[in-house]
Amino acid sequence: MKINFVTLAHDDDGGLIMAARYAAEEAEIRARIDTLVTAIHTMDLDVVKEIFAQDVVSFDIAPPLRHVGAAAKWQNWQDVFTAYQRPIGYEIHDLTVTVGDDVAFAYSLNRISGTLRNGIRSDHWVRWTGCFQKLDGTWLITHDQVSVPLDMASGKALLDLQP
């Protein structure tokens, strides 16, 4: 697994510099993402709920185009947990995190795999972006987007691509 550690800030002249002062914030966000991955593996919706802000807006892989509010996001995860047998495989690759004072974003290629309740084996990659905000001292996801590439000619999702 390749993980990129990126922490960026602007100097007084507007230039981009590496900022050690954000290292602890980046570590907190990475820990939150690790907690989310563990919760997905164990299908622990209560822990998943702790990662998202109450007013999260999600552009998730399942319809509709936009999910507003934590209850909608939690329902998406509940639907995933209902569709799969235990355990779910969930991996994060090429994770990049960029941190500011009270906002940050992360993006990665994620692999979800496992056996569906109907016995069919599922294994595909998605693209993920998570926008975090520090609320009451805790980094929470306030927006996320999950997507898969689309074959423009056929209009079909390309679920067999790998990094």
Q: Mind listing the pLDDT tens digit for each residue in 79-119?
A: 999 999 999 999 999 999 999 999 999 999 999 999 999 99
| Contacts for 159 with CB less than 8 Å, ≥ 6 apart | 124, 125, 148
pTM (2 d.p.):
0.85
- % of the chain at pLDDT higher than 70: 87
**Predicted pLDDT at 11:** 53
Tell the burial category of 10 from Cβ atoms under 10 Å away from its Cβ (0-12, 13-18, 19+): exposed
Tell the burial category of 33 from Cβ atoms under 10 Å away from its Cβ (0-12, 13-18, 19+): buried
Instruction: For the chain, give the mean pLDDT.
Output: 90
Residues of the chain short of pLDDT 50, as ranges, are 1-9, 15-16, 18
